[in-house]
Amino acid sequence: MIGVSVLGYGNIGSGVAQILRENADCIKKSAGEDVTVLHVCDLREFPGDPCEAILTHDASEAIHDPAVQIVVETMGGVHPAYEFVKDALTSGRHVATSNKELVAACGTELIALAKEKHVNFFFEASVGGGIPIIRPLTSSIVSDHVRRIEGILNGTTNYMLFRMQESSLSFEAALKEAQDLGFAERNPAADIEGADACRKIAILCSLAFGQPLAYTRVPTEGITGVTPEDFVYAEKMGCTVKLLATGRQTEDGVSVRVAPVLLPLSHPLAGIRGVTNAVLVEGDMCGTLTFTGAGAGKLPTASAVCADIVEAVRHPQTTVIRGWEGEELPLADAGEETHSFFVRLADIVEMSAFAEYAEQVFAGVIEGEAACVTAPLTEEAFAALCKEAPVISYLRVA
């Protein structure tokens, strides 16, 4: 029998316990052994819950019970999750986590520690919820040089943009609807300002390119400036607006960014609707692969954690995840990156600053303003042009 302790009995932690309990036969068949939750650790009480009898408030008890071989961390945040996970790995126990903040901030150290102790630090659920993307990057695409990885990595913002397009909702109305439906937190800053997607693309780039990328180095913009009017122009251009997280290899280093973009409807990620997430991986041999599924939610995310538990049971003394190591990824100069830009201006007269670079001009689409799509410009050159004209808003064009 394999003993499991779950640290953090919220949405995901309770989902892990539920799956291990209700799908015990399926998990035994996959893992080759019975897998049982022996401890649930949380500061709260859960009267009447199926795990009430195994609840503890002492993380050390849950981690160091000799019958426990696998520790699941679903607490969220960096501290004290980092200290508990480090303790578990140091004591020779496998760890499976859904905590993207922890992986993005401390993954390099924890992966190295797991390797040193001949155990595993698994984090499939930290990116894309129930979408299997970490394991394919570390086991299925290992013969390729990954050239590009990009994704819709935040279900809250994807739902909001979808509703702004579908029903012409304002940003504020779309956010309220997402909160009312439970898709957005009461404090939605991490989602709408791009921080959640930033951490996830940092993890994916670290895996895809084999070296650590600190999420603090990723240029990040959220969707707070996107308006229903942007979708009016997008429709005329055969595009939609998506919050896209991208990392790609260039001659000057890895180009990485999180930002809302105009995405052609022909793009594989343009049709991703609602709270769904999707990740596109381009390898030099496998070509382009797209992974799509539930990016969040109790059971889809918990299912990914349980898959990590099964993988740990199958490899009791072998570190199987490749992870990343070495120096920080060299990044291309963000200011020298080149894009076409969609720009909205106060009126057609103000277009003069962009006249030399405008490849497509829109006048009269929305009363009182004009817009254009520029030829490819560097970020620095575009920023300089914006200082010469009253720009209402802008979007990069994918």
Give pLDDT tens digits for 110-124: 999 999 999 999 999
pLDDT score of 343: 97
Extract the tokens encoding 385: 């042009």
- The answer on pLDDT for 351 being more than 90 is no
pLDDT score of 126: 97
pLDDT score of 92: 98
pLDDT score of 28: 98
- The answer on pLDDT for 392 being more than 90 is yes
Confidence band for 348, pLDDT divided at 50, 70 and 90: confident
pLDDT score of 166: 96
What DSSP letter does each residue of 208-227 carry, written as one string? HHSS---GGGS-B--STT--
Extract the tokens encoding 359: 């490849």
Alpha carbon distances (Å) from 275 to 155, 186, 192, 204: 4, 17, 13, 20
pLDDT score of 322: 79
Confidence band for 282, pLDDT divided at 50, 70 and 90: very high
- Span 2-129+298-314 CATH architecture: 3-Layer(aba) Sandwich (3.40)
**Spatial CA neighbour of 376 closest among 331, 342, 345, 344:** 342
CA distance 193 to 226: 11
- The answer on pLDDT for 346 being more than 90 is no
Strands 377-378 and 94-97: unpaired
Q: Which of 97-111, 325-339, 346-360 is the least confident region?
A: 346-360
Confidence band for 19, pLDDT divided at 50, 70 and 90: very high
Do 347 and 368 contact (CB within 8 A), yes or no?
Answer: yes
CA distance 264 to 164: 17
Extract the tokens encoding 103: 């992986």
CA distance 378 to 341: 10
- The answer on pLDDT for 350 being more than 80 is no
Average pLDDT rounded to a whole number, residues 223-235: 97
Confidence band for 214, pLDDT divided at 50, 70 and 90: very high
What is the average pLDDT score of the chain? 96
pLDDT score of 115: 96
Residues of the chain with pLDDT > 70: what percent?
Answer: 100
pLDDT score of 141: 92
On whether the pTM is more than 0.75, the answer is yes
pLDDT score of 61: 98
- The answer on pLDDT for 249 being more than 90 is yes
pLDDT score of 192: 98
- The answer on pLDDT for 349 being more than 90 is no
For 136-145, give one letter per residue: b (16+ CB within 10 A) or e.
Answer: bbbeebeebe
DSSP label at residue 67:
T
Average pLDDT rounded to a whole number, residues 366-386: 95
Torsion of CA 283, 273, 391, 199, to 10 degrees: -50
pLDDT score of 321: 84
Confidence band for 347, pLDDT divided at 50, 70 and 90: confident
3-state secondary structure of 313: helix
Extract the tokens encoding 247: 């990392």
Strands 68-73 and 146-152: unpaired
pLDDT score of 368: 87
Do 90 and 71 contact (CB within 8 A), yes or no?
Answer: no
- Tell me if residue 115 is catalytic: no
pLDDT score of 230: 97
The active-site residue, picked from 28, 86, 115, 200, is 200
* CATH class in words for 136-294: alpha beta
- The answer on pLDDT for 297 being more than 90 is no
CATH of region 336-397, choose from 3.30.70, 3.90.1200, 3.30.300, 3.40.50: 3.30.70
CA distance 82 to 71: 13
Q: Amino acid letter at 88?
A: A
**Spatial CA neighbour of 128 closest among 312, 309, 276:** 276
pLDDT score of 54: 98
pLDDT score of 253: 96
